[in-house]
């Protein structure tokens, strides 16, 4: 009887395997659009891969150096034309963030000579710091728990670049030529920023399965710091090229006279500031990155201090 009872006892049901950490519920039709966008983001990540950056970064750096030499000469030509074509009471130089300085005809020409010399001097400073970013990034690894944040950032950056470029085309049709070149510059910047976001290994960011909230936050900040530093050679080339082109357009506008000449003076000052700060960008990006990582090291040291005190106690 006992044997029969044991035979008739139902076997215990097998436990269902616990869902893995990466498993997600299938909602089929509800996520069709999400799936399509994910495929699009994956495709963009493959197109704008590490090879894309390596193949084009040197080109932008080289163009930036040549554009610097051209911009130095164009700045002098712009100031000379502005001094001749624009009434002396309207002559002014805008230096951000110092403000506007009213100049005489002679002072405008001197500003052209001094500005050209400063541009050539700043080119030397920029050259010394352009290649420092890669060494800092390689020696500063960081991690994040998921690629979700980076994928969203990459998609939004690319969309913003396309939207601004469309507005730039509208501005070009309306006669606002500098607006078009500035929007084109932003499109190029966002394309490369998308490359870094969708290929995080280019900025030495690893995806870790286990990460605390604090580590995730530091990983996000580190991505922005390192991607901005990685972007410097591209931004350098774009800023100097756009600045040189806008200087040409501004000089032509000054020759037209009237209100167009005043607009040309304003645009030329904007282009001059773009060239000036584009040349200073490698230095400030380098110093800013060092300051950021110094702050992070101090924060991590403070967070580890209680554990060290507990061990000693």
Asked whether residue 36 is assigned to any structural domain, the reply reads: no
Asked whether residue 21 is assigned to any structural domain, the reply reads: no
- pLDDT band of residue 165 (cuts 50, 70, 90) is very high
CA distance 85 to 76: 14
Residues with Cβ within 8 Å of 171's Cβ and at least 6 positions away in sequence, in order, are 177, 179, 180, 183
pLDDT value of position 211: 67
Residues with Cβ within 8 Å of 115's Cβ and at least 6 positions away in sequence, in order, are 72, 75, 76, 79, 272
Asked whether residue 31 is assigned to any structural domain, the reply reads: no
Asked whether residue 252 is assigned to any structural domain, the reply reads: yes
| 113 vs 201, more confident | 113
And the tokens for 98? 């110092």
Strands 92-95 and 99-102 come out as: antiparallel
221: left (phi over 0), alpha (psi -120 to 50) or beta: alpha
Asked whether residue 34 is assigned to any structural domain, the reply reads: no
And the tokens for 239? 């800023």
DSSP 12: P
Q: 249-267, pLDDT tens digit by residue?
A: 999 999 988 888 888 999 9
**Contact of 277 with 240, CB cutoff 8 Å:** no
- pLDDT band of residue 10 (cuts 50, 70, 90) is low
Q: Where are the beta strands (DSSP E) in the chain?
A: 92-95, 99-102, 142-144, 205-207
And the tokens for 274? 């773009």
- pLDDT band of residue 136 (cuts 50, 70, 90) is confident
Q: By three-state DSSP, how is residue 207 classified?
A: strand
Q: How far is CA 287 from CA 29, 60, 133, 189, 280, in A?
A: 50, 22, 10, 21, 11
Domain coverage including residue 289: 42-299
Q: 13-56, pLDDT tens digit by residue?
A: 545 454 444 444 554 555 677 778 778 788 888 877 778 887 78
Instruction: DSSP for 223-292, please give it.
Output: HHHHHHHHTHHHHHHHHHHHHHHHHHHHHHHHHH-HHHHHHHHHHHHHHHHHHHHHHHHHHHHHHHHHHH
CA distance 125 to 121: 7
Asked whether residue 89 is assigned to any structural domain, the reply reads: yes
pLDDT value of position 3: 45
Does this model's pTM top 0.85? My answer is no
Q: Count the domains in the chain.
A: 1
Asked whether residue 240 is assigned to any structural domain, the reply reads: yes
**Contact of 242 with 181, CB cutoff 8 Å:** yes
Asked whether residue 190 is assigned to any structural domain, the reply reads: yes
**Contact of 234 with 256, CB cutoff 8 Å:** no
And the tokens for 81? 């034309």
Residues with Cβ within 8 Å of 5's Cβ and at least 6 positions away in sequence, in order, are none
């Amino acid at each position: 009887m006992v044997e029969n009872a044991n035979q008739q006892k139902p076997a215990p049901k097998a436990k269902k395997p616990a869902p893995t950490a990466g498993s997600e519920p299938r909602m089929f039709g509800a996520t069709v659009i999400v799936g399509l966008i994910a495929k699009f983001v994956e495709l963009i990540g493959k197109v704008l891969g590490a090879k894309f950056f390596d193949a084009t970064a040197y080109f932008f750096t080289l163009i930036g150096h040549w554009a610097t030499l051209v911009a130095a000469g164009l700045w002098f030509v712009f100031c000379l034309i502005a001094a001749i074509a624009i009434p002396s009471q309207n002559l002014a130089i805008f230096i951000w963030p110092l403000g506007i300085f009213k100049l005489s005809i002679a002072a405008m020409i001197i500003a052209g000579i001094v500005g050209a010399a400063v541009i050539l001097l700043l080119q030397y400073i920029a050259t010394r710091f352009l290649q420092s970013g890669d060494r800092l990034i390689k020696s500063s690894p960081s991690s994040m728990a998921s690629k979700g944040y980076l994928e969203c950032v990459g998609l939004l950056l690319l969309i913003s670049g396309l939207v601004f470029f469309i507005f730039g085309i509208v501005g070009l049709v309306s006669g606002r030529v500098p607006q078009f070149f500035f929007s084109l510059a932003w499109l190029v910047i966002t394309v490369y920023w998308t490359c870094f976001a969708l290929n995080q290994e280019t900025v030495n960011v690893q995806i870790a399965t286990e990460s605390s909230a604090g580590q995730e936050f530091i990983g996000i900040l580190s991505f922005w710091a390192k991607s901005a530093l990685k972007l410097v050679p591209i931004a350098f080339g774009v800023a100097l090229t756009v600045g040189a082109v806008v200087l040409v357009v501004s000089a032509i506008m000054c020759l037209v006279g009237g209100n167009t000449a005043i607009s040309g003076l304003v645009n030329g000052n904007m282009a001059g500031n773009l060239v000036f700060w584009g040349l200073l960008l490698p230095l400030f990006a380098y110093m800013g990155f060092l300051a950021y990582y110094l702050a992070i090291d101090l924060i991590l040291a403070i967070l580890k201090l209680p554990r060290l005190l507990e061990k000693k106690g």
